[in-house]
Amino acid sequence: MAKFFKYKSLDEIREDVRRLGLSIEFSDELKRIFEPVSLFGRKAGNAMTVQPMEGCDGTLDGRPDELTFRRYQRFSRGGAKVIWGEATAVTEDGRANPRQLWINDNTWEDFARLADLMRREHKNRFRHVDDFIIGLQLTHSGRWSHRRPVIAVHNPLIDPFTFIDKKKRVSIPEDYPVISDDELQRLEDAFVHAARLAQKAGFDFIDLKQCHSYLLNELLGARTRDGAYGGPFENRTRFIRNVVSRIREEAPGLALASRINIYDGIPWVCDARTRTGSPVTLEKPPTDGFGIDPRNAFEIDYTEPIRLIRMLKDLGVDFFNLSMGSPYYNAHIGRPYEKPAPDMYEAPEHPLIGVDRHFRATSTIKAALPDAVVVGTGYSWLRFFFPHAAEANIRNNRVNFAGLGRGALAYPDFAADLMEKGELNRKKVCLAVSFCTALMRRKDNELGQFPAGCVPRDPVYTKIWHGNE
């Protein structure tokens, strides 16, 4: 395994950025990252967020469980002023695993307890919560649903990675049914109902998840789908337009956000012997997928992502969290890593290239839509240099907020340490060695799912990991 992160100083990482011809900048002074940011007619107390990272630790009926409460207690005491709650299913058949959170008429009061805990813990440490904003991400896992795949379209590139029998790795057949227009209309109802429950539970905003190849993301790129939800851009955005418009009408006062894939990319495969990764062979340009340049599938076409965000902003979506790729078939695109998860390939590029891809994508969206409030992604691999990159991006108007996902699992109080000490503790940062993903992918227990957390940094998950070896 190559060791990429070997930097002791900003000058050393800057030198590699120059050597690789990248556009990442680092600021020596930290100031803007600590300043308030306008959001939803309020002020978030600083420009740091916790990204939506699934803990896979709910109860079998979808309620937050002991480890869920522990995680959000730590996040809320950690100093970031926006906590972007993790993917929460709107229907049972849309859960990615049997312990994914699921908000419904029977569980919403447990989510209310979670929201109360978050505000109470933040107030206990920081004395007030008027600048502390919490949200909940709503999702349907689509083709990655654990009971059975729910696909929006047959995608010849991705169908081989979509299994009806995961243990035997049997892919869906060519005649596997796609979700019908009638089913999608009923799912619109489920998203709206879940949003109303999240508002009732006390969350400030909800996120409609359109990333990482889950159902709403797949709909955005479903060019070969027939009917009202496929084909032209107007049809492919019908679902999200309908849901946003209805939430505005039926849940007045609830702020809306969306985490969106700017670029889906194409699948990569892992050589079982060498663990190297390579892209699938393309006999012709991809027919489906979002943000993929038809002339070069390895490049981003910003035309439709910009059009989508502009449309959603006009409909009243206030906040955008930008991402790319899929953890199921091109993990290095979404989260640059030092070491891959057991079922993934070794990094096929220097992770700084992946970080730069994220930063350039976010900057392009901000330049096209300067009034959009945007959270940038791709910071965790930078470890203790993350604040310096975030500061530079904020100063240069490339982003409004910087978020940590894996980094927050490892180091939930990163923002508090940064505010109080002026720097991060180098022994607490995320190492990007993918133990959180590896633990999440383990299924062989009585609940069908192990919880996800930081094995190197959190003794609770260290014990879980070693107890399952």
Domain range enclosing 270 = 10-430
**What's the mean per-residue pLDDT of the chain?**
96
205-250: pLDDT as tens digits: 999 999 999 999 999 999 999 999 999 999 999 999 999 999 999 9
CB of 433 closer than 8 Å to CB of 99: no
What is the rounded distance in angstroms from the CA atom of residue 347 to the CA atom of residue 15?
A: 20
Written as six digits, the tokens of 225 are 């789908």
Asked if pLDDT for residue 19 goes beyond 70, the answer is yes
Quick check: 208 and 138 in contact, CB under 8 A? yes
Q: Is residue 170 part of a domain?
A: yes
- The pLDDT value recorded for residue 468 is 66
Please, where are the H alpha helices in 160-276?
181-201, 215-220, 233-236, 238-250
pLDDT at 189: 98
Considering the chain, what percentage of its residues have pLDDT values greater than 90?
A: 94
Q: What is the structure's pLDDT at 469?
A: 58
Whether 38 has a pLDDT exceeding 60, the answer reads yes
Tell me the sheet residues that pair with 450: none
Residue 356 has pLDDT above 80, yes or no: yes
Residue 1 lies in a domain: no
Which residue type, as a one-letter code, is found at position 374?
Answer: V
Cα–Cα dist 357/432, whole Å: 17
In a domain, 446, yes or no: no
Residue 1 has pLDDT above 60, yes or no: no
pLDDT of residue 342: 87
Examine residue 186 and state whether it is found in any structural domain, yes or no.
Answer: yes
CATH number at residue 233: 3.20.20.70
> Cβ(264)–Cβ(324) under 8 Å?
yes
Q: What is the number of structural domains in the chain?
A: 1
Tens-digit pLDDT profile for residues 376-412: 999 999 999 999 999 999 999 999 999 999 999 999 9
pTM greater than 0.75: yes
Asked whether residue 439 is assigned to any structural domain, the reply reads no
The residue with greater pLDDT, 440 or 105, is 105
pLDDT of res. 340: 94
**Short-list 367, 403, 373, CA closest to 38:** 373
User: For 118, how many CA atoms within 13 A lie in the half-sphere containing its CB?
Assistant: 30
Q: Is the pLDDT of residue 67 over 90?
A: yes
Rounded mean pLDDT of 345-374? Answer: 97
Element (H, E) at 441: none
Does any domain span residue 346? yes
Mean pLDDT calculated for residue range 125-130: 96
Q: Which tens digits make up the pLDDT trace of 178-209?
A: 999 999 999 999 999 999 999 999 999 999 99
Rounded Cα distance between 355 and 377, Å, is: 8
Q: Which residues pair with 261 in a beta bridge?
A: 323
